[in-house]
């Protein structure tokens, strides 16, 4: 649901949970057994987060992201997160862009620069009116489930995932926490090596 005065509307709200997962193959088997429909095969994503020099966007819980995946690029705005019943929702607006380099130039023109990059492999499924993403990242594997809160809970139960282990944080925040524990990690959440775009 949108917050009064936030400028968001329900159709522009992202409602999701993120759960750590030790075995994505087990989740994949459960999806297949449950008749889930594949939306996108496993693919590499590179995500750049932009902010101004004072980091005013991130300090307010807002995000500007430029994502490159499968030869396409998407520009996304995310508003401040809200939580209800352990489920995160936030305003999300995005559009595909034809030229990511020019988009970077536009962002620079309004005072925004890339402040953080994170990489992951993702595959997506449609299951019980939810979108289920299986993510492999440099700091572990996660399952993200997006949809209506009751459907999210049903999906997690069917997939053998514990709702109580859901994390309220973005990948950027999770990586910042990990770097606090392991200061030798690089500034960006990237895979150490890739061959032809793959680690």
Domain presence at residue 126: yes
Which secondary structure element, helix H or strand E, spans residue 149, and what is its range?
Answer: helix 149-158
pLDDT interval class at 9 (50, 70, 90)? low
Per-residue pLDDT, averaged over 15-21, amounts to 96
Range of the domain at 58: 14-181
Q: With a cut of 90, say whether residue 91 has pLDDT above it.
A: yes
Domain presence at residue 2: no
Pairing of strands 113-127, 140-146: unpaired
What is the CATH classification number for the domain harbouring 147?
2.40.320.10
pLDDT tens per residue, range 129-140:
999 999 999 999
Domain presence at residue 198: no
**How far from chain centre, in Å, is Cα 79?**
13
Domain presence at residue 58: yes
pLDDT tens per residue, range 25-49:
999 999 999 999 999 999 999 999 9
Can you give the pLDDT at residue 10? 54
Domain presence at residue 5: no
Return d(Cα 161, Cα 151) in angstroms, integer: 14
Domain presence at residue 109: yes
pTM attached to this predicted model = 0.88
Residues 6+ apart with CB under 8 A from 175: 116, 118, 139, 185, 189
Return d(Cα 195, Cα 22) in angstroms, integer: 24
Can you give the pLDDT at residue 165? 95
Count of domains observed in the chain = 1
Return the minimum-mean-pLDDT range out of 7-16, 21-30, 60-69, 70-79: 7-16
Can you give the pLDDT at residue 2? 33
Strand extents, DSSP E, the chain: 13-20, 37-51, 63-69, 72-78, 82-84, 87-97, 113-127, 130-137, 140-146
Domain presence at residue 9: no
């Amino acid at each position: 649901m949108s917050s009064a005065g936030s400028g968001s509307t329900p159709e522009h709200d992202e409602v999701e949970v993120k759960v750590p997962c030790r075995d994505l193959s087990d989740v994949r088997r459960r999806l297949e057994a449950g008749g889930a429909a594949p939306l996108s095969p496993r693919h590499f994503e590179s995500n750049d987060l932009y902010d101004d020099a004072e980091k005013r966007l991130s300090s307010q819980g807002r995000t500007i992201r430029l994502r490159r995946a499968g030869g396409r690029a998407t520009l996304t705005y995310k508003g401040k997160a809200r939580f209800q019943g352990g489920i995160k929702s936030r305003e999300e607006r995005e559009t595909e862009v034809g030229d990511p380099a020019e988009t970077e130039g536009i962002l620079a023109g309004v005072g925004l620069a890339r402040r953080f990059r994170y990489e992951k492999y993702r595959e997506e499924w449609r299951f019980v009116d939810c979108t289920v993403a299986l993510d492999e990242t440099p700091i572990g594997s996660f399952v993200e489930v997006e949809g209506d809160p009751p459907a999210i809970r049903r999906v997690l139960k069917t997939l053998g995932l514990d709702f109580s282990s859901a994390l309220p944080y973005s990948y950027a925040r999770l990586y910042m926490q990990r770097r606090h524990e392991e200061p030798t990690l690089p500034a960006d959440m990237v895979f150490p090596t890739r061959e032809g775009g793959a680690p």
